[in-house]
């Protein structure tokens, strides 16, 4: 797969097709993009023999940047898009060109700026990764920004659909294999060593968490590979779960102050699709007795804050959990601007208490020194083994 698309002269994509039977050609309003001649009088600054190009802006065409469609919802397609040096998209209104140096379309042949993209951060990350994989850009920049880049890849990929859930990791193999050479390291359950703590603080999108069932792919509880829903990394504290295309509430001053990675090991499962792993960390933590009241909306909790002593932060679970529940909150990072903590929510795995598993993420309203006002105890430091 990797060599096929990376060595292709050009990849042709039927971007607007719902399935393989629809093909690439569509009826369209051709007058919006058909070339035409505009007669004009001679002007001192314009030579008569010069050709002037005029590009009308018309909403009937669809805009300068290509709008995501059915093709962009499929999991296997992401690595094909990133590995291809040149892609011609046959879309609903016009034909788009996308290569490692520029993106353009019939109605706007001039290269499109990242500012015209619906999600400039994602467009930047995918372009950086694509150029590096193609060999047209030094790998130094990607190694320096691999965490920022990979977070955007995870968000994009996790929003896509796989027909077979056990393809969760295989459908990224075409990207991961060359990255292993570029970064000179092995991946950690779909993540990389640089700033691993940032890659661990994912949370699920605006969907109802599923029951604990076998989804066809097994992964450590702390890896995003273990869930089938779209994952996010931005700050959700100012409001409820955002729409899928929301870009607001980004972390502005997020720092890891109490979280130290001691060791990590990941191995493939011998008898089924999946991975097993063990992550050993030393972090500040505090115990918390979680009840249904904690899952109220932030507005409701603010109204009852004085009476019930509820923290107005957000609890976001990876799977359905039974309440009440005693959990430990590992402080991973704090945002001094938003005045909040980002905590992994963990529970014991098994009876021994030697290992723990993640069940969700908490955006705790307040900083570490304010925790005792809610739990009447000071956070302690301890080493945990997460599986």
d(CA 315, CA 344): 10
Please indicate, yes or no, if residue 259 is contained in any of the structural domains: yes
Q: How far is CA 303 from CA 242, 300, 307, 341, 357, in A?
A: 22, 5, 9, 21, 33
Based on the domain organization, do 18 and 98 belong to the same domain? Answer: yes
Residue 133 covered by a domain: yes
Of the pLDDT bands very low, low, confident and very high (cuts 50, 70, 90), residue 56 is low
> What is the predicted pLDDT for the residue at 139?
94
* Domain final position from 128, 156, 184: 184
Instruction: Give the residue-averaged pLDDT of 281-302.
Output: 89
Domain identity same for 179 and 259: no
Interatomic CA distance for residues 310 and 301, integer angstroms: 6
Whether 11 and 142 map to the same domain: the answer is yes
Q: Where would I find the beta strands (DSSP E) of the chain?
A: 11-14, 86-90, 95-99, 103-105, 203-204, 231-232, 254-255, 259-268, 275-290, 314-317, 325-335, 340-348, 356-365, 380-386
Which of 136, 164, 184 terminates a domain? The answer is: 184
210 neighbors 228 (Cβ within 8 angstroms):
yes
Do 163 and 304 sit in the same domain of this protein?
no
Say if 208 falls within a structural domain.
no
Q: Are residues 123 and 9 in the same domain?
A: yes
286 falls in which pLDDT band (50, 70, 90)? Answer: very high
Q: What is the pLDDT of residue 60?
A: 54
Q: What is the mean pLDDT of residues 265-273?
A: 89
Report which listed range, 34-43, 184-193, 373-382, is most confident. Answer: 184-193
Is the residue at 247 inside a domain?
A: no
139 and 14 within one domain:
yes
Same domain, 152 and 7: yes
Of 48-62, 285-299, 333-347, the least confident: 48-62
Shared-domain flag, residues 7 and 106: yes
Which of 254, 266, 260 minimizes the C-alpha distance to 222? 266
What pLDDT, on the 0 to 100 scale, is given for residue 336?
A: 86
What's the structural domain count of the chain? Answer: 2
Determine the average pLDDT of the residues in 30-49: 65
The answer to whether residue 227 is domain-embedded is: no
Domain boundary residue, one of 123, 153, 184: 184
55 — pLDDT class (breaks 50, 70, 90): low
Same domain? 176 vs 291 = no
Q: Tell me the pLDDT tens digit for each residue of 195-211.
A: 999 999 999 966 655 55
Query: What is residue 338's three-state secondary structure?
Result: coil
Please check whether residues 173 and 286 belong to one and the same domain. Answer: no
- CA–CA dist 156, 211 (Å, integer): 24
| Residue 240 pLDDT grade (very low, low, confident, very high; cuts 50, 70, 90) | very low
Considering the domain architecture, whether residues 173 and 263 belong to the same structural domain is answered as no
Q: With the C-alpha atoms ordered 20, 23, 27, 32, is the resulting torsion angle positive or negative?
A: positive
More confident position, 309 or 334: 334
State the pLDDT at residue 179: 97
Summarize pLDDT for 243-256 with one digit per residue, the tens: 444 444 455 578 88
Pairing between β-strand 254-255 and β-strand 275-290 as defined by DSSP bridges: unpaired
18-22, 193-197, 302-306, range with greatest mean pLDDT: 193-197
Q: Is residue 244 part of a domain?
A: no
Q: Tell me the pLDDT band of 24, cut-offs 50, 70 and 90.
A: confident
| Domain span including residue 42 | 2-184
pLDDT tops 80 at residue 239:
no
Whether the predicted pLDDT of 241 surpasses 60: no
Return the DSSP state at 70: G
pLDDT at residue 98 greater than cutoff 60: yes
Dig out the tokens for 37 from the structure: 């001649």
Q: Write down the pTM of the prediction.
A: 0.88
Segment 170-197 shows an average pLDDT of 96
């Amino acid at each position: 797969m990797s060599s096929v698309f990376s060595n292709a002269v050009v990849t042709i994509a039927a971007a607007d097709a719902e399935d393989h039977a629809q093909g690439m050609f569509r009826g369209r309003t051709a007058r919006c993009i058909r070339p035409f001649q505009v007669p004009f009088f001679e002007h001192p600054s314009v030579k008569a023999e010069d050709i002037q190009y005029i590009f009308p802006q018309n909403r009937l065409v669809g805009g300068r940047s290509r709008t995501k469609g059915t093709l962009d919802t499929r999991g296997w397609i992401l690595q094909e898009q990133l590995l291809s040096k040149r892609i011609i998209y046959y879309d609903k209104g016009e034909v788009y060109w996308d290569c490692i140096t520029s993106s353009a379309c019939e109605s706007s042949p001039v290269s499109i700026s990242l500012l015209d993209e619906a999600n400039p951060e994602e467009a930047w990350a995918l372009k950086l990764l694509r150029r590096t994989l193609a060999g047209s850009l030094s790998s130094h920049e990607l190694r320096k920004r691999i965490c920022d880049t990979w977070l955007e890849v995870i968000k994009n990929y996790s929003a896509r659909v796989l027909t077979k859930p056990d393809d969760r990791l295989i459908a990224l193999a075409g990207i991961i294999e060359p990255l292993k050479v570029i970064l000179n390291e092995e991946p950690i359950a779909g993540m990389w060593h640089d700033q691993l703590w940032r890659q661990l603080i994912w949370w699920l999108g605006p969907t109802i968490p599923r029951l604990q069932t076998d989804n066809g792919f097994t992964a450590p509880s702390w890896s995003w590979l273990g869930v089938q829903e779209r994952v996010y990394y931005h700050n959700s504290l100012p409001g409820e779960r955002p729409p899928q295309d929301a870009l607001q509430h980004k972390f502005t001053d997020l720092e890891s102050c109490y979280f130290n990675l001691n060791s990590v090991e990941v191995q493939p499962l011998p008898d089924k699709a999946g991975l097993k792993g063990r992550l050993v960390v030393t972090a500040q933590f505090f115990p918390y007795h979680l009840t249904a009241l904690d899952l109220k909306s932030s507005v409701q909790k603010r109204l009852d804050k004085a009476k019930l002593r509820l923290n107005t932060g957000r609890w976001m679970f990876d799977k359905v959990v039974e309440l009440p529940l005693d959990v430990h909150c590992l402080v991973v990072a704090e945002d001094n601007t938003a005045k909040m903590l980002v905590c992994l929510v963990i529970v014991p795995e098994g009876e021994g208490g030697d290992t723990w598993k993640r069940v969700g993420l908490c955006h705790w309203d307040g900083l570490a020194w304010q925790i005792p006002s809610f739990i009447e105890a000071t956070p302690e430091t301890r080493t945990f083994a997460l599986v």
